[in-house]
Structure 1
Amino acid sequence: MNIAESTINGIKVLSLEGVLNAASSPKFKAYLETADHSGPMIINLEQVEFIDSSGLGLLVRLARQKKSANEALKLAKMNDRVKRVFEITQAHSLFDIYDDIQAAAGN
């Protein structure tokens, strides 16, 4: 799992690449815990090839943390395989999901 950070319209964008599963979730969790990630955030999932329940659980926990802090968490650019996991688990109802980063940053 690779994580790249950028900013668009003052919003932090985390671009993930690879798989988000039980093996890689601890790396992403540690990344989130070691830096200041307050404020609104977009997670770009365009390069995520696969997500399992561990990865999904980490995103759900992050969404709850953001919600309790009155901060936005948006997901963007899911491929069909990842989108299907969100639909099957009905986790898509917990997130604001966008087809592109510009749309996520503008809303």
Structure 2
Amino acid sequence: MIITETSANGIVIVALEGNLDALSAPKLRGSPPVADPKTAIVLDLEKVDFMDSSGLGAIVGAAREKDDPACGIVLSCMNDKVRRTFETTNAQRLFHIFDDTAAAVDFAATRQIART
């Protein structure tokens, strides 16, 4: 799992590449912006090749630890494989999901401003 962190509009974008599974989930959870409850992030899932229940659990668990669980992690660019995992488990109802990262960043930035 490759984790790349960038930022736009004051929001941290965490892009994942590779498999999000039992081996890589702790790496995601240990990533500083993911672990920080005050940091709202956009999680770009476009290049996730495979995600199992451990990967899904890492995302859901990290979201629950955010100060604003509904908007602490905003998801973007889900490919079909990842989308199916979220839909099968009904986890998509826990997140705001966008087809492109720019829209996700705009949403997260607006929510961040509203909270301050």
Common topology (TM > 0.5): yes
Q: How does 1:1-107 map to 2 (within 5 A)?
A: 1-32=1-32, 38-66=38-66, 69-70=67-68, 72-107=72-107
Cα distance change on mapping 1:20 and 1:101 into 2, 3 Å: same
Q: For 1:43 and 1:34, locate their aligned partners in 2 and report how far apart those are by CA, in whole Å.
A: 9
User: What is the CA RMSD across the aligned residues, in angstroms?
Assistant: 1.9
**TM-score, scaled to structure 2:** 0.83
**TM-score, scaled to structure 1:** 0.89
Unaligned runs of 5+ in 1: none
CA-to-partner distance for each residue in 1:15-65, whole Å, 9 max, x for gaps? 000000011112222224897573211000010011100000010011111
Q: Which amino acid aligns with 1:16?
A: L
Number of equivalences: 105
Segments of 4+ moved more than 6 angstroms: none
Work out the percentage of aligned pairs sharing the same amino acid. 45
Q: For 1:9 and 1:76, locate their aligned partners in 2 and report how far apart those are by CA, in whole Å.
A: 16
Q: For 1:54 and 1:17, locate their aligned partners in 2 and report how far apart those are by CA, in whole Å.
A: 16
